[in-house]
């Protein structure tokens, strides 16, 4: 028997909506085709932006989109992407397939996308091949008053009102594709560039994000925090789950039980990186004024056979759904440090939410997880303590279950549990507490995401193979729940308190004393 103890009285604080963020780069068919079809297209659109994609993104309450890159950001010159489309200068997308980008999707189109989806903008600026002046002027163009030179240009291009930029990234992967810099050098470059980022909107302060580390490169985080923490709101971290090696990553759809295990084990390493980078950040920023921004995460496989190697197009299976679920659990459980996370990437690229083929669109298993987990956005995280069995393969073991929980403003608790085992169901006794006192349950319901095979996926012919369904057979008594999770599943439980207690505003208990699931701190 597996057990989960939920303590509604213990919290690390609020789960920022932005933890459920996304990333759309000028890469392959991500923007062009996937989001932008242009005003002349026969595919239904609003101002050139696909209606089906907008509706799908709205349905999962996408809080923020990061754009235009990735590596592309450091070769993007924003002035090429404004004004009449027929006059826009094309560019070669050198990082991603050497293809021509006609710049028809630019600043105005990006903000229109955000407006249609109802999300915040996270704009990544060009440090690698751009100047301070270019970056300053872009911020003025986006956020400055109509009376400023760039604001006037924006108005002439059809948008007199300034937009709000909630997050601005000063470069991307500046240790690699963003300029191959050393941390000491980038720390100074960051300090310089951010000095000239104007804050035009007193009603919408723009948060500055420094280009951060990846995986276990602690030195980059150490130097950046030491030299520039005072000038940043967030520091990024990139982590991709790659089942095998960088050269031969593995197939997205053709894999067995061993690769299922390896992939999930590698996905769980994200928690180690968050803890380790968080510890370095804590030394320089004990009051946690700088947020960790995991602005690229997700699975990365070999491209689908027959597709352009530079377009990073991959299918998406139930395995990806479980990677997404454990990653979101990790972010929820570390909401006291993680201020934003952005899945790579939104449409047709890497661990996509959505795949398109001409006018057709399907949502992936990963999308379904975001749909299930949207309930956590903005909630108060609550502590979970799991006692579970090992799931072992070839002498290596991980926990069979993985969880996170939150409480909404109405007092309802949302518990997300993942059963990582591909063949064994898990019977779980869940107990609900408020500190030492029992937390009485009035009612509980649940939804489950699973599928017949570990490789199950949604396709053009079978778009609903991996889908959310109700989970029945939940036993409720006093403060106890009995639930059985099918093998290889993600379950979202909704637990209503006996006396409708309003959600707490303030976290109780110290951040470090609150349990964050098995393997979590404290
Ligand atoms: O998401 C694909 C690429 O991965 C991004 O452009 C880059 O930042 C990272 O290396």
Q: Is the pLDDT of residue 244 over 70?
A: yes
Q: What CA–CA distances, in Å, run from 495 to 90, 177, 431?
A: 53, 46, 11
Q: What is the pLDDT of residues 392-445, one digit of tens each?
A: 999 999 999 999 999 999 999 999 999 999 999 999 999 999 999 999 999 999
Residue 69 CA, closest ligand 1 atom number = 6
pLDDT at 499: 73
Active site includes 296? yes
Please write the tens of the pLDDT for every residue from 58-75.
999 999 999 999 999 999
Measure 71 CA to ligand 1 centroid, in angstroms: 6
From the candidates 17, 259, 296, 492, give the one annotated as an active-site residue. Answer: 296
- The residue whose CB lies within 8 Å of the most ligand 1 atoms, and thus the one to mutate among 343, 344, 345, 346, is 344
Alpha-carbon gap, residue 466 to 456, rounded angstroms: 7
Q: Which residues is 294 bridged to in the sheet?
A: 341
Three-state SS sequence of 343-358: EECCECCCCCCEEEEC
CB of 237 shorter than 6 A to ligand 1? no
- 71 Cβ below 6 A of ligand 1: yes
Indicate the average pLDDT of the chain: 95
Residue 172 in contact with ligand 1 by CB distance below 6 A = yes
Q: Looking at residue 500, what is its pLDDT?
A: 53
Q: What's the 312 CA to ligand 1 centre distance in angstroms?
A: 10
Task: Name the residue at shortest CA distance from atom 3 of ligand 1.
Answer: 70
Domains contained in the chain, CATH given: 25-377 (3.20.20.80), 382-497 (2.60.40.1180)
| Segment 352-383, tens digit of pLDDT | 999 999 999 999 999 999 999 999 999 999 99
Residues 357/37, Cβ–Cβ less than 8 Å: no
Question: How far does the centroid of ligand 1 lie from the alpha carbon of residue 362, in Å?
Answer: 23
* Closest C-alpha to 294, from 342, 228, 362: 342
25 lines ligand 1 (CB under 6 A): yes
Query: From the centroid of its chain, how far is CA 495?
Result: 25
């Amino acid at each position: 028997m597996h057990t989960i103890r939920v303590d509604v009285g213990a919290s690390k604080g609020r789960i920022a909506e932005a933890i459920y963020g996304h990333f759309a780069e000028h890469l392959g068919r991500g923007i062009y085709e996937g989001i932008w079809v242009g005003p002349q297209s026969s595919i239904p659109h609003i101002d050139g932006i696909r209606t089906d994609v907008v509706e799908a993104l709205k349905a999962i309450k996408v809080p923020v989109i990061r754009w235009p890159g990735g590596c592309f950001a450091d070769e993007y010159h924003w002035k090429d992407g404004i004004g009449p489309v027929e006059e826009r200068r094309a560019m070669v997308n050198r990082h991603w397939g050497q293809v021509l980008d006609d710049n028809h999707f630019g600043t105005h189109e990006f903000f229109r996308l955000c407006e249609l989806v109802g999300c915040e903008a996270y704009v990544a600026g060009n440090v690698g091949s751009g100047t301070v002046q270019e970056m300053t002027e872009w911020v003025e163009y986006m956020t400055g008053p109509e009376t400023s030179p760039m604001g006037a240009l924006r108005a002439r291009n059809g948008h007199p009102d300034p937009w709000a930029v909630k997050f601005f990234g000063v470069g991307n992967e500046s240790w690699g594709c963003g300029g191959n810099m050393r941390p000491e050098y980038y720390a100074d470059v960051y300090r310089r560039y951010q000095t000239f980022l104007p804050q035009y909107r007193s009603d919408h302060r723009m948060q500055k994000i420094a280009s951060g580390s990846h995986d276990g490169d602690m030195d980059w985080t150490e130097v950046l925090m030491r030299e520039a923490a005072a000038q940043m709101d967030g520091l990024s971290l990139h982590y991709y789950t790659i089942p095998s090696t960088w050269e031969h990553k593995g197939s997205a759809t053709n894999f067995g039980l061993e690769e299922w295990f390896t992939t999930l084990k590698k996905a769980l390493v994200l928690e180690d990186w968050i803890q380790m980078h968080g510890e370095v950040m804590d030394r320089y920023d004990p009051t946690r004024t700088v947020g960790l921004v995991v602005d690229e995460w997700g699975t990365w496989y070999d491209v689908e056979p027959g597709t352009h190697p530079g377009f990073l197009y991959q299918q998406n299976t139930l395995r990806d759904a479980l990677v997404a679920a454990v990653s979101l659990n990790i972010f929820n459980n570390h909401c006291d440090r993680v201020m934003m996370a952005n899945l790579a990437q939104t449409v047709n690229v890497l661990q996509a939410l959505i795949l398109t083929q001409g006018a057709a669109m399907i949502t992936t298993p990963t999308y379904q997880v975001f749909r299930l987990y949207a309930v956590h956005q903005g909630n108060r995280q609550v502590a979970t303590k799991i006692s579970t069995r090992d799931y072992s393969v070839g002498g290596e073991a991980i926990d069979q279950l993985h969880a996170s929980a939150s409480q909404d403003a109405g007092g309802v608790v949302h518990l997300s549990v993942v059963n990582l085992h591909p063949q064994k169901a898990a019977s779980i006794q869940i107990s609900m507490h408020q500190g030492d006192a029992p937390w009485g349950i009035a009612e509980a319901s649940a939804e489950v995401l699973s599928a017949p095979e570990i490789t199950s996926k949604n396709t053009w012919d079978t778009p609903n193979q991996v889908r959310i369904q109700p989970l029945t057979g939940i036993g409720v008594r006093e403060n106890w729940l009995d639930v059985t999770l099918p093998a290889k599943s993600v379950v979202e439980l909704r637990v209503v308190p006996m006396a409708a207690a309003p959600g707490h505003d303030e976290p109780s208990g110290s951040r470090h004393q609150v349990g964050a699931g098995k393997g979590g701190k404290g």
